[in-house]
Amino acid sequence: MREKKTVNYTKNKLLTKVFDFYIFSNIHVAFATFLLVKITLLNIGILKNTSAWFVFFSTLLSYNIIRLLRLDSIKNWYNIWIKNNIKPLYFINSLSLISIIYLSFYLHLKSVIVLFPFVLATLFYTFPLKKYSLRNIANLKLFLIAFSWAGITVLFPLSQNYITPRTIDYFVFLQRFLFIIVITIPFDIRDLDYDSKKLRTLPQQIGIKKTKIFGLALLLIFNIIEFLKPTTEQALFSTCLITLISAVFLIYSNQKQSKYYSAFFVESIPIIWFLLIYLQ
């Protein structure tokens, strides 16, 4: 009996380590961006995954590099976790870099041009110039993330597949922009005690309650746009359900949330969205 308990404990401990690595090595967030690209591709009937895989490995590499460069400014437990997993992190970073280089040969010049401003905006924020630091602009972090993700997951896959954006595609871009803002807010609330005051995030500027009201207002606009553009009943249902799920996670987010609340559950919303569309 004691041996059985020991075996079960060992298995549970191993599963926890694997699950933590999946989340905190940023594989989960990379998978979420992969599926946001897939949502765009499904909506235009494209099955090719080149742009989706490029976004996946680019997200994985960039997020891990940012974490490693800011090791001293992140939460203590996360700092310790990274140091304890530094070798496997270097391995997946190397694998990601090789994959990015390989996939780059399949990218079209037009799609690279479309991708460039979104990558450049992120780089200027991550590695700010002394005189022209984007971090000095209040609330920029939230909107810059949303702008970059919207461009990379909507406009980039369109250009990679030789599709000139139509009016409806810019509506989708706007929806994606609003959606990313909303699911990023729980992270800003979580990090309220850890983010530098210089970042001047939305919760730092207007407080948690007003930030949540702002997020709910954006979700309302996100939903209204779906009614304004040509759509199907299935797509409308998916949008309404994702709006409801996002609203629930936004409302219940707080500073003392579990380390899995935002990093796993909130980041899983794009996965749920993809499944709703794919299974229609």
Number of domains in the chain: 1
pTM for the full predicted model: 0.89
pLDDT of residue 82: 83
Percent composition of the chain: helix, strand, coil (DSSP 3-state, to 5) = 80, 0, 20
Q: What are the CB-based long-range contacts (under 8 Å, 24+) for 134-139?
A: 135/198, 135/199, 136/198, 138/200, 138/205, 139/200, 139/201, 139/202, 139/205
Which residue spans within the chain are E strands per DSSP? none
User: What is the separation of C-alpha 142 from the centre of its chain, rounded to a whole number of angstroms?
Assistant: 11
The mean pLDDT values, 10 residues at a time, for the chain of 280 residues are 57 84 93 95 89 94 83 71 87 95 92 86 62 56 86 93 90 95 91 72 88 95 90 87 95 90 93 90
Q: Whole-angstrom Cα distance, residue 244 to residue 249?
A: 9
pLDDT of residue 265: 94
Give tens-digit pLDDT for 24-74.
899 999 999 999 999 999 988 888 899 999 999 999 998 888 888 776 666
H/E element holding 1? none
Describe the crossing of helices 27-43 and 269-278 by its angle, rounded to 10 degrees: 30
Range of the domain at 220: 2-278
Q: Whole-angstrom Cα distance, residue 10 to residue 271?
A: 30
Give residue 250's identity as a one-letter amino acid code.
L
